[in-house]
Amino acid sequence: MIPLVDLTAQYHSIKKEIDAAVLSTLESGHFILGPAVTKFEESIASYLGVDFGIGLASGTDALVLALRALNIGAGDEVIIPAYTFFATAGTVMSVGAKPVFVDVDPQSYQIDVSKIKDAITSKTKAIIPVHLYGHPAEMNPILEIAREHGLKVIEDNAQGFGAEYLGRKTGTFGDIGCLSFFPTKNLGAFGDAGGVVTNDSALAERLRMLRTHGWKKKYYSEEVGYNSRLDALQAAILQAKLPYADAWNDKRRELARRYTAHLAPLGVATPVERNWGRHVYHLYIIRCPRRDELQAFLKQKGIASEVYYPLPPHLSVPCRRFGYKDGDFPHAELAARETLALPLYPELTLPQQDEVIAAVRVYRQKKSTIT
């Protein structure tokens, strides 16, 4: 079986460093926040080129705390892409605001910047671009619109760690950048973990308060906050992995180029990379009108694949109250019906990749319907 991602293979590739990090943490006696977390926060800020990094319990919490730190809540509206993981919309609703969807570019799956202005109302407070699949959103036009209308920008960089827009790391353009270190991410922990980054010292202080029950001083809450602290164990593991992040992303790009070189001549719709962006291929996404049939065929061949995502958030049960319906965002809805992720991770071997390519080729020859 060829898995979609092989976390065990990555662990074994740097087993010595990971084991040492875990043992050091166990012997330190510091398990919540503490020196390991502080060190990782400093390292992640340095890597991304920002002033402040704050470790949190998950990428979802990162979005919630970012919204709270920017005082977004009941009666407010937040513009997000119509094709993304549900958490982007769910976190907006969790603070009492309304997600306002904008359709996506049908090739890059990033928010269509030409449609953002039409979605702005007097209630709009922020835009959340999502660097979906590891391809950067087009940040300069988004920032221009935000400045023109007095809006905040929160980057959902959960899938874009190490990606670049015009030579600058994603997650560093907006007021706050949100990170996920879920195990399958390009930089992944051994459990749930996340973080936020910012260049604003006041926002950094507020975010640290929100992650720990609204405390500036221990036990003295100044507002209602959360328990969203990054485990020291996860921070130590991430610290051990961070030096390998660029090499792993380079390998993802190499494997993605190889997939495209073999699949595009077959007529397969392969990922794009805009000339202003550096894609880090958190996921390698192809499109197929008979996507479910192709997925079943690959499964028969012992090849894992996955759909990211089968339902655009505007059609989910929680969003029904806003009156969204089928046909509102056609590019997002078509992507939900046609996209499929093929196995891609730095440790994927060329023989494994050749097996995936061969299987898609056989399906293509049989059906001649992958477009």
Question: pLDDT digits over 246-298, tens only?
Answer: 999 999 999 999 999 999 999 999 999 999 999 999 999 999 999 999 999 99
* Domains 7-243 and 244-367 alike in fold: no
Q: Could you tell me the pLDDT band of residue 369, with boundaries at 50, 70 and 90? A: very low
Q: Could you tell me the pLDDT band of residue 366, with boundaries at 50, 70 and 90? A: confident
Average pLDDT estimate for 333-361: 98
Torsion (CA) 225, 230, 232, 238 in degrees, nearest 10: -160
Average pLDDT, the chain: 97
Average pLDDT estimate for 209-232: 95
Which residue carries 């990428």 as its tokens? Answer: 59
Q: pLDDT (tens digit, 9 = 90+) per residue, 101-157?
A: 999 999 999 999 999 999 999 999 999 999 999 999 999 999 999 999 999 999 999
Amino acid 371: pLDDT:
46
Residue extents of the structural domains in the chain: 7-243, 244-367
- Residue 370, pLDDT above cutoff 60: no
- Residue 1, pLDDT above cutoff 60: yes
**Cα–Cα distance between 53 and 142 in angstroms, integer?**
23
Q: pLDDT (tens digit, 9 = 90+) per residue, 40-92?
A: 999 999 999 999 999 999 999 999 999 999 999 999 999 999 999 999 999 99
Angle at 17 between CA 12 and CA 22, to 5 degrees: 100
Average pLDDT estimate for 212-225: 94
Q: pLDDT (tens digit, 9 = 90+) per residue, 143-169?
A: 999 999 999 999 999 999 999 999 999
CB 287 within 8 A of CB 143: no
Amino acid 162: pLDDT:
98
Structure tokens at 82: 């119509």
Average pLDDT estimate for 228-233: 96
**Cα–Cα distance between 146 and 154 in angstroms, integer?**
11
Instruction: Identify which of 147, 151, 111 has the alpha carbon closest to the alpha carbon of residue 130.
Output: 111
Instruction: Identify which of 114, 153, 160 has the alpha carbon closest to the alpha carbon of residue 133.
Output: 160
Angle at 217 between CA 178 and CA 235, to 5 degrees: 40
Question: Could you tell me which CATH number the domain at 244-367 has?
Answer: 3.90.1150.10
* 218-235: b (≥16 Cβ within 10 Å) or e: eeeeeeebbebbbbbbbb
Please report, rounded to a whole number, the percentage of residues in the chain having pLDDT higher than 90: 98
Least confident of 1-10, 197-206, 311-320, 361-370: 361-370
Amino acid 368: pLDDT:
62
Question: Could you tell me which CATH number the domain at 7-243 has?
Answer: 3.40.640.10
Query: How much is the pTM?
Result: 0.96
